[in-house]
């Protein structure tokens, strides 16, 4: 005898706030773009810092953390250590994100307070993940990547907190040294490595792919890990060779990852190009575009190339990878909560029936156009074009919020 446990599907009321808030933060990030004049766009502008934190913490991390409440047991094949801890994560992360954004825009004294709140939220998350990983007897590739990415996040957040103290003037720190390490640890070490590691489970699961080798992903993860260590060492010991070796290794690792994704795509049995597949295809081509522009920047030193590369990485690769998975995760959780008890008793919907066809398509089309237009606008440093692209993104992000509510309220 066995009973159905909730180990593999936490209560939806626990996870839904992450997705709802995440979608609103996505919308807020898009609105923020309208208030960034093109001439203000430099890598070290505090308005850009505010924008990046609003988008990364509020949308990307918020949605990833919510998804992890569902995905950790799926990937680790054990139940959570304490899934209830997720009730504390989203309010703290939301409040901390808002405080930090306001801090960057106009009140630097808010930064350390917002930083503490974010730090607590993320530390609760990391602690829960580590204690869950501890329950696993043998680690597979996906589990190792989760351990690696959360270790990077741990150090990345601490560096970020130290920087928030430095920005507000409470302590004296070398911001430039910490900044590079913070960015690389959180963005590459956590977000990118998490997406890479989860791919080996999620892409074959949804595409019904079999018979592909995991070796390219393993190599890509090793390259990413070494690249992050090299960039950290270069930051603290001022060794320029390590810095460039780190960048080159990261780019090579991401191309290797792209090759791995392509092998999964080729071996998939399920050929249907639904909103999930479309989102991921756009996401991965954005990754390649971002890498090519990054290489262009290393060769030419033209800063708009770096900014446009970052834009494609954030709003192209990250955003579409996240939104694509939202269209899989929310319907599953809602279905599990509302319809699984009715199986065998009455007709229940398929997961695909729970997708909002029109608003998901609108989100995809408007956001894809917006991402490309803004990327070009950044290269041309054209303010009107940036606002034009942001208008498309605004339409798309409203459609995304609508899609999230449609799926959550599906009855």
Partner 1 sequence: MYSKDELLLAISTVIDPEVGFNLVEMGLIYDAACNDEGDAHIIMTLSTKACPMHQLIQQWVKEAVQKMANIKSVEIELVWEPVWNITMAQEHVKKALSGN
Contacts of 74 (CB under 8 A, 6+ apart): 8, 201
Tell me if 257 contacts partner 1 by CB under 8 A: no
For residue 268, the SS3 value is strand
For residue 168, the SS3 value is coil
Q: Which stretch binds partner 1 (CB under 8 A): 28-36, 107-115, 268-276, 299-307?
A: 268-276
Measuring CA to CA, how many Å separate 96 from each of 64, 123, 202? Answer: 16, 13, 30
Q: Which stretch binds partner 1 (CB under 8 A): 20-28, 206-214, 228-236, 403-411?
A: 206-214
Count CA atoms within 13 Å of residue 188 on its CB side: 28
Pick from 215, 352, 358, 380: which binds partner 1 (CB under 8 A)? 352
Q: Which stretch binds partner 1 (CB under 8 A): 1-9, 13-21, 114-122, 357-365?
A: 1-9
Q: Which stretch binds partner 1 (CB under 8 A): 47-55, 98-106, 201-209, 228-236?
A: 201-209
Tell me if 135 contacts partner 1 by CB under 8 A: no
Tell me if 340 contacts partner 1 by CB under 8 A: yes
Contacts of 75 (CB under 8 A, 6+ apart): 142, 143, 146, 197, 198, 201
Put residue 3 in one of left, alpha, beta given phi > 0 → left and psi -120 to 50 → alpha: beta
- Structural contact between residues 29 and 55, judged by C-beta atoms closer than 8 angstroms: yes
Tell the smallest beta-carbon distance from residue 81 to partner 1 (Å).
18
Q: Which tokens hold the place of 162?
A: 């130290």
Tell me if 301 contacts partner 1 by CB under 8 A: no
The DSSP bridge partners found for residue 268 are: 209
Tell me if 201 contacts partner 1 by CB under 8 A: yes
Tell me if 43 contacts partner 1 by CB under 8 A: no
Tell the smallest beta-carbon distance from residue 205 to partner 1 (Å).
5
Tell me if 145 contacts partner 1 by CB under 8 A: no
Tell me if 300 contacts partner 1 by CB under 8 A: no
Tell me if 210 contacts partner 1 by CB under 8 A: yes
Tell the smallest beta-carbon distance from residue 9 to partner 1 (Å).
6
By C-beta, is 269 or 299 nearer to partner 1?
Answer: 269
By C-beta, is 201 or 386 nearer to partner 1?
Answer: 201
Exposure string (b/e) for 226-236, b if CB count within 10 Å is 16 or more?
Answer: ebbbbbbbbbe
Tell me if 351 contacts partner 1 by CB under 8 A: yes
Measuring CA to CA, how many Å separate 387 from each of 71, 76, 87, 383? Answer: 36, 43, 37, 6
Question: How many Å apart are CA 272 and CA 288, to the nearest integer?
Answer: 23
Tell the smallest beta-carbon distance from residue 344 to partner 1 (Å).
6
Kindly list the residues in this chain that would bind partner 1 in the complex (CB under 8 A). 2-5, 8-9, 70, 73-75, 77, 201-202, 204-206, 208, 210-211, 269-272, 332, 335-336, 339-340, 343-344, 348-352
């Amino acid at each position: 005898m066995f009973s159905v446990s909730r180990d593999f599907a936490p209560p939806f009321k626990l996870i839904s706030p992450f997705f709802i808030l995440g979608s609103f933060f996505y919308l807020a990030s898009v609105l923020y773009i309208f208030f960034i004049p093109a001439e203000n766009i430099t890598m070290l502008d505090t308005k850009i810092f505010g924008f990046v934190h609003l988008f990364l913490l509020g949308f990307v991390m918020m949605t990833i953390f919510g998804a992890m409440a569902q995905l950790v047991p799926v990937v680790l094949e054990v139940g959570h250590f304490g899934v209830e801890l997720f009730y504390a994560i989203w309010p703290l992360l939301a409040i901390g994100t808002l405080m930090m954004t306001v801090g960057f825009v106009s009140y630097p004294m808010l930064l350390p307070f917002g930083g503490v709140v974010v730090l607590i939220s993320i530390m609760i998350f990391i602690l829960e993940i580590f204690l869950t990983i501890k329950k696993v007897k043998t680690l597979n590739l996906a589990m190792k990547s989760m351990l690696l990415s959360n270790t990077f996040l741990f150090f990345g957040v601490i560096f970020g907190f130290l920087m928030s103290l430095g920005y507000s003037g409470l302590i004296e720190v070398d911001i430039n040294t910490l900044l590079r390490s913070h960015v690389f640890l959180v963005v590459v070490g956590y977000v990118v490595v998490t997406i890479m590691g989860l791919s080996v489970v999620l892409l074959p699961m949804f595409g019904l792919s079999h018979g592909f080798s995991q070796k390219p992903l393993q190599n890509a993860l090793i390259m990413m890990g070494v690249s992050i260590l090299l960039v950290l060492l270069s930051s603290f010991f001022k060794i320029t060779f390590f810095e460039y070796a780190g960048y080159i290794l990261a780019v090579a690792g991401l191309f290797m990852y792209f090759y791995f994704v392509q092998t999964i795509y080729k071996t998939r049995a399920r050929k249907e190009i639904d909103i999930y597949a479309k989102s991921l295809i756009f996401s991965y081509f954005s990754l390649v575009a971002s890498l090519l522009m990054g290489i262009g920047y290393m060769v030419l030193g033209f800063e708009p190339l770096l900014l446009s590369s970052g834009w494609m990485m954030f709003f192209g690769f990250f955003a579409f990878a996240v939104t694509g998975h939202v269209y899989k995760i929310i319907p599953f959780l809602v279905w599990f909560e509302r319809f699984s008890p009715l199986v065998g008793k009455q007709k229940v919907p398929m997961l695909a029936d729970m997708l909002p066809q029109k608003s998901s398509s609108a989100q995809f089309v408007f956001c894809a156009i917006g991402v490309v237009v803004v990327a070009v606008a950044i290269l041309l440093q054209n303010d009107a074009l940036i606002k034009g692209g942001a208008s498309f993104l605004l339409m798309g992000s409203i459609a995304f919020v609508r899609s999230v509510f449609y799926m959550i309220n599906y009855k």
